[in-house]
Amino acid sequence: MILTNDQEAIRRLVRDFANARIAPHVREWELQGGPPRSLYEEMGSIGLMGMTVDPSYGGSGLGFISYALAMEEISAVDGGISNMMSGNNSPVAAAIAAHGSAEQKERILPLLCSGKWLGSFHLTEPHTGSDASAITTRATRDGDQFILNGHKAFITGGGTSDIAMIVAVTNPEAGKSGISTFVTSTANPGYQVIGKEQKLGHRTNDLCQVQFDAMQVPDSDLLGPEGRGLAIALSNLSIGRIAVAAQAVGGARQALRLAKEYAEVRETFGKPIIEHQTISFLLAEMATKIEVARQMYLHAAALHDAEQDSAAAASMAKLFASEMAEWVASKAIQIHGGAGFLEDHLVEKIYRDVRVYQLYEGTSEIQKLVISRHLDSLEM
């Protein structure tokens, strides 16, 4: 895909920002558990926290190609920060923009888009992962409010977000049609962070277990019609999977760059190792797989921008890019040799960061399931 001048300009803007404002601090922020909140306000000031939201609500009003390109650039310097950006953009801001009331849009979107507020998405529970319809968090109507009780797990930003997008059962007798979505403040007394996970990678954001203990949520916090919550939550899956593919490409691209730079200065048998065919061919294969993955996510984003069905393309892009990223990061460590196993080199961090892309927004196995269901519509 050939990018437009505007898309190239966005990519350069985000790359320059990421290299200047994030890259120098990634080790420090990883140890601290995240960047200062002011970073997200800086990201909001250049339009990164509500990229597809209409400008009338403080967003950038851009398409999903631009959003995916920005995700690649932020992820190239830090996966955890890119994940906070991703959750804020979609599903939270995108879902409110698409399904929220006028009051919700006016009250919440400008704060999310500015980075002054951060959003978190509460779908997964300890006993449910890919089977979203099996959630048990209950929202019981009580006059003009709902009382929420339940337990959510693997919630990115669960302890640092300001607004929570919560999926809960409102009518257990109605099955999938009895699930609703709410957008409500995390300052609510019934919102309790009961655990913060220690992770392999993405250590620059918090991953939490959250409990709702008789949490009172007003009717006005219901997102969309009652009973449409699962559809609202799942409607953003293609967007999320495109973003994950872009994140994977960003991490892999950085691993390739570091491996190439190391190969140019590390010498064996009297010459830089990049001059050994074994290494140069491996770098060539890494570069090729990265470019294939990039074109796949751009194609899926283009379909979404054209309002065409992007489900299969998004799953294909995520499946290929996420597994490619782990392979590329592993080969980058191999090129570094024993040095790649040390914290002296960033390739070990990239390897830790990219592993999760095969897990969230649907595991690789779920992507294969989605693709298999579209086989009859694919050109063969």
User: What is the residue whose two structure tokens read 């570091």?
Assistant: 258
Long-range contacts of 133-137 (CB under 8 A, 24+ apart): 133/175, 133/176, 133/179, 133/230, 135/167, 135/168, 135/169, 135/179, 136/169, 137/166, 137/167, 137/168, 137/169, 137/212
Residues 20, 30: Cα–Cα separation, whole Å:
17
Cross-strand pairs, 156:
207
- Which residue among 8, 285, 361, 379 is the active-site one? 361
Task: Indicate the pairing of strand 119-122 with strand 163-169.
Answer: parallel
CB 378 within 8 A of CB 322: no
Distance of CA 92 to the CA centre of its chain: 11
261, burial (CB in 10 Å: exposed 0-12, middle 13-18, buried 19+) = exposed
Distance CA 261, CA 332 (A): 11
In angstroms, rounded to a whole number, what is the distance separating the alpha carbons of residues 153 and 196? 10
Distance CA 279, CA 335 (A): 7
Tokens 């650039």 identify what position?
73
The dihedral over CA atoms of 268, 272, 278, 279, expressed in degrees to the nearest 10, equals: 120
User: Three-state SS for 293?
Assistant: helix
Residue partners of 173: CB distance under 8 A and separation at least 6: none
361 an active-site residue?
Answer: yes
State whether the Cα torsion 163-126-89-306 is positive or negative: negative
Q: Catalytic residues, which ones?
A: 361
